Amino acid sequence: MTITTILKGAVAATALVTAPLAANAQEFINILTGGTSGVYYPLGVGLSNIYGENIEGARTQVQSTKASVENMNLLQDGRGELAFALGDTVAMAWEGNADAGFTAPLDQIRGIAAIYPNFIQIVASAESGITSFEELKGKGLSVGAPASGTELNARAIFGAMGMSYDDLGKTEYLPFAESVELIKNRQLDGTLQSAGLGVASIRDLAAALDINVVAIPEETAESLGAPYIAATIPAGTYDGQAEDVPTVAVSNFLVTHAGVSDDLAYEMTRLLYENLDSLEANHMAAADIKMENALNGMPIPLHPGAERFYREQGMID
């Protein structure tokens, strides 16, 4: 028997052993979200359940993170299969904006869909006396976790309003829930949160004490430009909010990476739109997810699997 014959036999035997393992291989889907009191997390839980129930062999996990910036860096390293992120953060990740927390262009990230808008929501305790953006001067405000998507939004808005953090009496860099606890304990006057309407942290604050929802003038969106748009926080969104409040919003995106298989990206996209009613049960923000808006403002290349789905829907020629 020749060495060649022996080697061929060894290869064949190895194939026989490994073939069943490949056939039974599980598809792992780690969904990168944000803090548990935000909107990304409950929507991530909803998607995890949908994918786990409808993708054969799928094993899903929801990871709470510091949100947009961290999520993009994790995707670049292949440490997640799907992530939520703000549109401006995704664009800065693709460009490699160092000030935003990206040391080099993140060339592996790929788009799945534009989903719902994040509303910039500034809320202050009523006893702070803050009723307008200018009245934040000299007051204590939490602007979100350092270099998070929320904090990047805060920097942009302060700049557009001709102000900076230096105008504040105290600046805290805290996630949503921790910000609210400081306001409850009268250690902070307000919080800026970039999230879907009805975010749990602000609902919790409004249930505990009287609040003022602080307006961001419509012209701020014009000054900022895309991806920011003028928006409104409808009256009654939070306890004690009697009137509509103008603000700005920026779209959220679902993002994956180039290493995810075309078939998995296709299924994640398809199942998102086939289960919007179920997803809305996890958070009301899902009501604003519309397939016709899926490609609006997409700042990075689509994943080929997602692109195949949109071609089938007649959205791409």
Q: Is 125 helix (H, G, I), strand (E, B) or coil?
A: strand
Mean pLDDT of all residues belonging to the chain: 91
What is the predicted pLDDT for the residue at 26?
78
Q: Is 121 helix (H, G, I), strand (E, B) or coil?
A: strand
Is residue 202 pLDDT above 70, yes or no? yes
- The tokens for 31 are 């969904």
pTM: 0.82
Q: How many Cα atoms are found within 13 Å in the side-chain-facing hemisphere of 159?
A: 10
| pLDDT tens-digit map of 273-313 | 999 999 999 999 999 999 999 999 899 999 999 999 999 99
Question: CA-CA distance, 171 to 72, in Å (whole number)?
Answer: 25
| pLDDT tens-digit map of 215-250 | 999 999 999 988 899 999 999 999 999 999 999 999
Query: Taking residues 264-271, what's their average pLDDT?
Result: 98
The domains found in the chain, sorted by start residue, are 25-116+252-312 (3.40.190.10), 118-250 (3.40.190.10)
Cα-trace Rg, the chain: 22
Contact 171, 192 (CB under 8 A): no
